Chain A
Amino acid sequence: MNDRAKDELKPITNESGIEVKPLYTAVDVEKSGGLSMLGQPGEYPFTRGIHRLMYRKQPWTMRQYAGFGNPADTNQRFKYLIANGQTGLNVAFDLPTQIGLDSDDPLASGEIGRVGMSVDTLRDFEIAFDGIDLNKITVSLTINGAAAILIAMYLAMAEKRGYDVKQLRGTAQNDILKEFIGRGTWIFPVEPSIRLVGDTIEYCAEHAPKYSPVSVCGYHIRESGANPAQEMAYAFCIAKAYADDVIKRGLAVDEFAGRLSYNFNIFGNLFEQVAKFRAGRGLWAKIMKEQYGAEKPGSMWLRMIAAGGGGGLTFEQPEVNIVRGAYYALISALSGTQTMALCSYDEAYTIPTEYSARISLRTMQLLIEEMGLTETVDPLGGSFYVETLTNQMRQKMEEIMAEVDAQGGIVKLVSEGAIQSKVSAQAYRMQRDIESGKFRKVGVNCYRNEKEEEHPVEFHPYNEKDTRVQIAGLNKIRAERDQARVTQALARLSADATSGRNVMPALVEAVKAYASVGEMTNELVKIFGRYQEPIRF
């Protein structure tokens, strides 16, 4: 390209702040650091993928987020998704469950079963997973504040159904630090919240070694306003905080790091997203190896779900979200994820219908069956642009992580509300840029329909009856259970929380005695207190 043509080009910077050139060559790759972090798939530093054959051996798991109403309603939706070829479950809980309230708590009124299924006791899990083979379908629990309780419940349910918990696979989200940044289903203050995450990791390392007790979420940090490089860098800082807590207890890194997993977001520039995941894999492997002394390859793997993010979808022209979702799924496949999920096209409005959930599922299946996305590992590897950007994204992430450390670490910054304030200011600037048309969004600030038509969105009905059914079920359990056993289990929970012992054995016992989510949460609140949100702008 001659100089004159170059002068006429407007500079373009991606969301992570990296300048994008009109053309890349081998010189750019070299200047950005060369191919020293590339390696081979399945080998350190895993930039090209954590497994040697990736999807050639096994396609990604498809795991749509689902759950609403009573556990019986959710069980039906689970079976529908499985019948349509879904290979994993991702459970949505209602807000009372997520923040540790029983269904008859006055604060839960109007919220039962609304954004997910409601769970009070082990009985609800027995109903929700009835008829589902937990060895064939792995289950991911989207639960954070109350995660220790719900993990205990899942393990107890599986054990009761005769599964060997030592062989049981599955995932809990259980990333409380990101809940303080975005999503907001916290319960306890920061320090005891981290301790509870540590308790679940420590407990699972011994009792459920194939279960992934934590899925660290860059996803929601991105939704809250972080750029793609920050999304991943902050997630790594958070994962390190959990790892540090567990190592302080005397566990060796290789005893638990292989079960840490991640949840990342996909929307925005395709190449920036693909580079983000390739860069992140190399950086996480390097951190685990060099900073933590991990020796097992599994401890260095960036295992993840990469989900087509709600933040990219639009309220306007919702049908166009089907196409956005298809591109997000493509990015996810090009990125080498282990698990994929897509927000459905109507999700900016409502809980997806069976129809829209099925479209999301078909979108992912198309990539496997028709588009050749499973045939070759890391198909974009070797592109001058993608390799340069991968190097640049990794350097960006390292800079952001160093900045967090220099400012006192992620736990301090989240406790003070500093990260929240930073990403929220960015979200505001982005919204301004969308409103001014500087950041283009199809159907929102360009290519708008002249006349807004009726949107083909069917609203998920909210059934007031669900609340009565749920509370009646809870009351029945309370009347039938062995109350002395519950009282004793809750007393042990309280004692263990006070003494600093791992609370998981006490929680498993309490769950098996049919203690309720609210009862267990309240015992812990008495010891730990409640989180007070810092308000900072």
Chain B
Amino acid sequence: MSAEKSVSTIRRIKVLLAKPGLDGHDQGAKVVVRALMDAGMEVIYTGLRQTPEAIARMALDEDVDVIALSSLAGSHIPFCTKLKPLLEANHLQDKLWVIGGNLPAQDHDALRQLGFAGIFPTGSKFDAIVDYIREHVK
């Protein structure tokens, strides 16, 4: 846990929180932005309607530690399928990829295979998200 490390030795965790595709539900994304900021992280929130290309570019340009998606309208699998090769092409596979939102359990394996190890379905707690990021950021 990062709490055991000396604060001065770790740089602030930087998160890109993106809204993929056409989904307009941003209440969840916005509250998670606030929770991560309150936990001391630096958060770049993309706003709605980001393409896979835009997300990969921002993740690279901003040199983030975490690439987080919030998806509630059901298109997470096709979207992540498009995003994965773009993140890899930008050599971002060593970053932490996480996803939250309306993510049925039956899709979790597919999301893990697409590189999204941290999966936070609706109902996940802020602490669970924050702890996971702190533990898994390299």
Q: Do A and B come from one complex?
A: yes
Chain A residues close to B by CB (< 8 Å): 95-96, 98-99, 101, 107-111, 114-115, 179, 182-185, 223-225, 314-316, 348-350, 424-425, 427-428, 431-432, 435, 444, 459, 462, 533, 535, 537
A sample of 6 more A-B contacts (CB under 8 A), given A108-B22, A533-B47, is A110-B75, A110-B78, A111-B22, A315-B122, A431-B31, A431-B35
Q: Which residue of A lies closest to B26 (CB)?
A: A184
A459–B34 CB distance below 8 A? no
A435–B126 CB distance below 8 A? yes
Chain A residues contacting B78 (CB-CB under 8 Å) are 109-110
Chain A residues contacting B35 (CB-CB under 8 Å) are 428, 431
CA distance A351 to B10 in the complex (A): 44
Chain A residues contacting B75 (CB-CB under 8 Å) are 110-111, 114
B106–A459 CB distance below 8 A? yes
B104–A427 CB distance below 8 A? no
Known: A95-B23, A183-B24, A424-B31. A537 touches B37 (CB 8 A): yes
CA distance A98 to B48 in the complex (A): 14
A107–B125 CB distance below 8 A? no
Chain B 30-57 interface residues, beta-carbon cutoff 8 Å to A? 30-31, 33-35, 37, 45, 47-49, 51
Which one, A107, A114, A535, contacts B45 given CB within 8 A?
Answer: A535
Known: A95-B22, A182-B26. A114 touches B47 (CB 8 A): no
Chain B residues close to A by CB (< 8 Å): 21-27, 30-31, 33-35, 37, 45, 47-49, 51, 73-75, 78-79, 82, 102, 104, 106, 121-123, 125-127
Chain B residues contacting A179 (CB-CB under 8 Å) are 24
CA distance A7 to B106 in the complex (A): 53
- Chain A proximity of B41: nearest CB distance (Å): 13
CA distance A530 to B41 in the complex (A): 32
CA distance A107 to B54 in the complex (A): 12
- Chain B proximity of A93: nearest CB distance (Å): 11
CA distance A79 to B104 in the complex (A): 29
CA distance A184 to B28 in the complex (A): 13
Q: Which 7 A-B pairs have the closest CB atoms?
A: A184-B24, A110-B78, A95-B22, A315-B123, A424-B30, A533-B47, A428-B34
B126–A432 CB distance below 8 A? yes
Chain B residues contacting A535 (CB-CB under 8 Å) are 45, 47
Q: Which residue of A lies closest to B45 (CB)?
A: A535
B21–A110 CB distance below 8 A? yes
Chain B residues contacting A349 (CB-CB under 8 Å) are 102, 104
Q: Which residue of B lies closest to A349 (CB)?
A: B104
A428–B102 CB distance below 8 A? no
Which one, A115, A223, A444, contacts B73 given CB within 8 A?
Answer: A115
CA distance A462 to B73 in the complex (A): 12
Chain B residues contacting A224 (CB-CB under 8 Å) are 27
A107–B22 CB distance below 8 A? yes
B27–A348 CB distance below 8 A? no
Residue of A99, A115, A182 with most partner-chain B CB within 10 A = A115
B126–A537 CB distance below 8 A? no
A115–B27 CB distance below 8 A? no
Chain B residues contacting A110 (CB-CB under 8 Å) are 21, 75, 78-79, 82
Chain A residues contacting B27 (CB-CB under 8 Å) are 182, 223-225, 424, 427
CA distance A427 to B126 in the complex (A): 13
- Chain B proximity of A347: nearest CB distance (Å): 10
Known: A349-B102, A535-B45. A427 touches B22 (CB 8 A): no
- Chain B proximity of A323: nearest CB distance (Å): 18
CA distance A114 to B26 in the complex (A): 18
- Chain A proximity of B73: nearest CB distance (Å): 5
Which one, A99, A435, A462, A537, contacts B74 given CB within 8 A?
Answer: A462
CA distance A444 to B73 in the complex (A): 22
CA distance A462 to B107 in the complex (A): 13
CA distance A537 to B22 in the complex (A): 22
CA distance A95 to B23 in the complex (A): 7
CA distance A315 to B123 in the complex (A): 6
Which one, B21, B23, B104, B126, contacts A459 given CB within 8 A?
Answer: B104
B127–A96 CB distance below 8 A? no
CA distance A206 to B33 in the complex (A): 47
Which one, A111, A182, A225, contacts B21 given CB within 8 A?
Answer: A111
Residue of A183, A184, A225, A462 with most partner-chain B CB within 10 A = A184
Chain A residues contacting B125 (CB-CB under 8 Å) are 435
Chain A residues contacting B106 (CB-CB under 8 Å) are 459
Known: A110-B79, A111-B73, A315-B123. A424 touches B34 (CB 8 A): yes
Q: Which residue of B lies closest to A454 (CB)?
A: B105
CA distance A175 to B81 in the complex (A): 34
- Chain A proximity of B49: nearest CB distance (Å): 8
6 A-B contacts (beta carbon < 8 Å): A110-B21, A110-B82, A184-B25, A348-B122, A533-B47, A537-B37
